[in-house]
Structure formats: C-alpha cells, structure tokens
C-alpha cells in the first residue's frame, strides 16, 4: 500500500515543467517487435522513469549503460532514466513537484540524509511491502547484512532499498607531493598534518593544498565535525536536537575556515569547480566521496593516490555513510511491479559490479565484493578503493533531520557553511545561529 502522508506542494512553474517531462511515464500496449521478445508479453510495455543524481562526471554513462541492458533483457518494461541536478536536494525538490502533479517517477535515488523526510512526507511503496508481493522477495533480501539493510529502514521498516554506499577519502596528487618535497607514500593521517602539508604545497608549488567538497549537502563537513567528537544531531528519549554548535564542531569548522581565510592554502568553491581544480593539477589534496573514484582516476593527468579520511589526533574516525536508497513512488500496480523488478536488477551482482567500476560506490552486498566472478579482482587490484573499504567500520549514519522541515534544516547548514568559509561569520557565530534555527524547525 502506498504511504500517503505527502503534503508539500511547490511552485506552479516547476510543477508544469515536471508534469511535461513526465508524460512519457505510463503503461499500455505497444507494438510487438519481432525478435525482441515482446511477443511473449502480448506487446504490452510498462514504461517507468528512474530519477538519479549521476551527472556526466559522476557515473551518468554507467546509469545509461545499466538502463540499456535492463531494457534489452526485459522487453515488457522500458525504463527512462532522468538526471536530476543539484544532487539529492535538487532531486527532492523536483520530486515534490512531480508528486504534486500526479506524475512521480517510479523509482528514485533518495539520499540517506533525506530518508526520514521522504518516509514521513512523500507517498511511496515501501520496498519491504514490494518484496512481500514477490515469491522470491525474502530470498532476495537475505543477500544483505542486517546493518546494511538498516540504512534503508525508518522506525524498523525497510522503506528504501540501500543501493549506493560511499564514504569520504583523501585523494592526493602524488606528482605534486614530490614537487613539494613530500613523500607520496606517507600521506597525512591527521588534520594537523593536512594543514602542515597544505602549507608546504602552497609554498613550494604555488597551488592550493586542499579542497573539501562543497555540494548541496554537509556530508563531508559532518565527517569533520563528528571525527572531532561532535554530534550533528542528538536523540534523547525519542526527541532529536541539533547539537552542531558544540566546541568540537566549532573547532573542526574553524580549522577549515582558517585554512581558507588565514593560511590561504585551501580552496572555497563549488563541488564542480573544486573537482576541476584537482584534476587539472591546481590542488594537491581533495576530500570527497569514493563514488567519484572513476572520474578522478580517469580524468587526472598525474598519479592519483588515496588515503583514509584524516582523524583529529587520536580521536576515532567517524565518516557518514553516503549514497542513496532506491524508493518506489509509482502508484500504478503494473508500474510498481516494474519498479521492483528494476530495483532487483540494479542490485544484482552483475549490475553492482558495473556500478562500482563505473563510479566507486561500494556495493551493499558483501557476496559481490568477495566473489571472484564479480568485484573481488577489481577490489584487490584498485588501490584507490582500499581506503574506502578499510574505513567501512568507521561509518556512522548520515544525519537526516526529522519532521516536515528537513529540507529547510539542511539549507540552514549550507548557509552557515557559506557564511563561515566566506568569512562573513566565525564558526561559533554561524553554527550557534544555525542550531537555534534548526531546532525551531524540528520542533524544539
């Protein structure tokens, strides 16, 4: 049964645009094509949309390859993939408009940071219910470790199917390290070492020493704050409170601000600008997701190496599990069935092998990683994957603000980031103001 708690209409212009783009979605009879297998389905083809955040330099071609192969193997289903800009925030905004127009995509990637919001506010078919309708559904779910399935659960129910899993690593330009007199085999292990090496790179080469990703989410910044001992969100007795104004959180953010504004060794730029700066040899170290491994590795004209996310001294590393779960928003029963079939395909060992090689995401199924017929040779041979795999035990949940104002809460943190790194406010000022605003939004 569809969960129908949605109640967030958006602007008319966006609504009309999304409705127009969704006209291809639907199911109905088609013309059986000889030799394609459609004869077996009487010519009926169910067309569904798949919304994703994978741009050209973030696995876009791999999405198209997977969809094409699925369509070839399933003559009774046609999947139409649609890229949604501005990452998960942009997808969520467009999704609300599509729901308001009554033409949502059948399947969409929901960032783990919007899991609570999507579950509470957007009508969907929980994948747990989809699996129950499938005689092989439980056997399919048995392929996953309980802690991985928990990434898609809200209040104990499997709402979305965990699909893409990532964590932040430190990529670095080995050639620039040598030019700066640094040893590429000894990358920084702590943030103090990152700051020192960034200074050396700046002095010796004139290039920026560091860029930490700045997309429309606070994933990497959460990793910094929580690795210094902070909690972005604290739950007590079932009640959540924003707590990212603690001394530890302020210290972590101020470190980043000092590198940008005082040392002038770190770059403050958009995610795309920062990525281009690194792959063109203008930045020595780059903290971003392992999911960009393929693009960074194939686009850089120098030797790229990777190290685990730096720690704050001896404090334990805490890196949020990034990525997304696959949600079913189709309302039509035929589309729901097609959506579940597509999800099972994306989660197959064959498709996950393609997905990991084409992006860098870690597969949610352990059996795929260890199977010599699938990812084991690749994981054994690709050195950039090793730090991400090694720090999986350090993974913590990506903060998902509860309630109806989760999107606004995320935006407040983004505004605070810009105020801090842009030099308009100190970390203490910006984070304390942001905490007050977020707590008001989430009911405190």
Closest CA to 170 of 323, 287, 291: 287
Q: Do residue 191 and residue 292 come from a single domain?
A: yes
- Which two three-digit tokens encode residue 414? 């983004």
Q: Do residue 295 and residue 439 come from a single domain?
A: yes
Q: Do residue 315 and residue 422 come from a single domain?
A: yes
The number of distinct structural domains making up the chain is: 2
Q: Do residue 296 and residue 386 come from a single domain?
A: no
- Rounded CA-CA distance 101/97 in Å is 6
Q: Do residue 333 and residue 291 come from a single domain?
A: no
Q: Do residue 69 and residue 151 come from a single domain?
A: yes
| Per-position pLDDT tens, the chain of length 444 | 454 444 333 333 333 333 333 333 343 434 444 444 455 567 899 999 999 999 999 999 999 999 999 999 999 999 999 999 999 999 999 999 999 999 999 999 999 999 999 999 999 999 999 999 999 999 999 999 888 898 999 989 999 999 999 999 999 999 999 999 999 999 999 999 999 999 999 999 999 999 999 999 999 999 999 999 999 999 888 789 999 999 999 999 999 999 999 999 999 999 999 999 999 999 999 999 999 999 999 999 999 999 999 999 999 999 999 999 999 999 999 999 999 999 999 999 999 999 999 999 999 987 898 899 999 999 999 999 999 989 988 988 899 998 889 889 999 999 999 999 999 999 999 999 999 999 999 986
Q: Do residue 136 and residue 176 come from a single domain?
A: no
Whole-prediction pTM value?
Answer: 0.83
Q: Do residue 66 and residue 102 come from a single domain?
A: yes
Q: Find how far residue 420's CA is from the centre of its chain.
A: 24
- Rounded CA-CA distance 351/252 in Å is 38
Q: Note down the domain range covering 423.
A: 168-321+403-443
pLDDT of residue 40: 56
Q: What is the CATH number of the domain that holds 146?
A: 3.40.190.10
pLDDT of residue 39: 54
Q: Is residue 127 part of a domain?
A: yes
pLDDT of residue 38: 52
Q: Do residue 201 and residue 91 come from a single domain?
A: no
Q: Do residue 376 and residue 336 come from a single domain?
A: yes
Q: Do residue 245 and residue 173 come from a single domain?
A: yes
pLDDT of residue 117: 93
- Rounded CA-CA distance 241/254 in Å is 22
């Amino acid at each position: 049964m569809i969960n129908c708690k949605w109640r967030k209409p958006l602007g008319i212009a966006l609504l009309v645009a999304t409705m127009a783009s969704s006209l291809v979605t639907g199911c109905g009879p088609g013309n059986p094509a000889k030799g394609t297998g459609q004869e077996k389905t009487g010519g009926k083809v169910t067309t569904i949309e798949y919304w994703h955040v994978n741009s050209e330099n973030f696995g876009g071609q791999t999405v198209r390859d997977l969809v094409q192969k699925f369509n070839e193997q399933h003559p009774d289903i046609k999947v139409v993939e649609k890229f949604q800009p501005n990452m998960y925030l942009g997808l969520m905004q467009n999704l609300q408009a599509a729901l308001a127009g009554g033409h949502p995509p059948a399947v969409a990637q929901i960032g783990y940071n919007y899991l609570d919001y999507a579950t509470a506010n957007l009508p969907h078919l929980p994948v747990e219910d989809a699996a129950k309708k499938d005689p092989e559904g439980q056997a399919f779910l048995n392929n996953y470790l309980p802690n991985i399935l928990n990434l898609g659960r809200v209040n104990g129910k499997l709402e979305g199917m965990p699909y893409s899993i990532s964590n932040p690593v430190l990529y670095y330009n080995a050639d620039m390290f040598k030019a700066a007199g640094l040893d590429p085999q000894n990358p920084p292990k702590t943030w103090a070492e990152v700051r020192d090496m960034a200074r050396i790179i700046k002095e010796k080469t004139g290039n920026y020493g560091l860029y930490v990703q700045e997309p429309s989410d606070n994933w990497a910044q959460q990793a910094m704050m929580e690795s210094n001992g902070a909690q972005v969100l604290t739950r007590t007795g079932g009640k959540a409170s924003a707590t990212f104004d603690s001394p530890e959180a302020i210290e972590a953010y101020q470190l980043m601000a000092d590198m940008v504004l005082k040392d002038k060794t770190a770059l403050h730029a958009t995610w795309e600008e920062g990525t281009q700066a690194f792959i063109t040899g203008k930045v020595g170290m780059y903290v971003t997701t392992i999911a960009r491994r393929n693009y960074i590795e194939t686009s850089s004209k120098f030797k790229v190496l990777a190290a685990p996310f730096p720690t704050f001294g001896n404090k334990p590393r805490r890196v949020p599990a990034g990525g997304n779960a696959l949600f079913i928003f189709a309302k039509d029963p035929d589309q729901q069935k097609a959506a579940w079939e597509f999800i099972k395909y994306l989660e197959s060992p064959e498709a996950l092998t393609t997905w990991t090689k084409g992006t860098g995401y870690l597969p949610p199924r352990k059996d795929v990683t260890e199977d010599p017929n699938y990812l084991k040779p690749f994981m054994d041979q690709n050195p950039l994957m090793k730090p991400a795999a090694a720090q999986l035990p350090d993974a913590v949940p990506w903060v998902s603000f509860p309630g109806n104002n989760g999107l606004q809460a995320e935006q407040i943190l983004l505004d605070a980031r810009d105020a801090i790194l842009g030099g308009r406010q100190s970390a203490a000022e910006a984070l304390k103001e942001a905490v007050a605003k977020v707590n008001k939004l989430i009911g405190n």
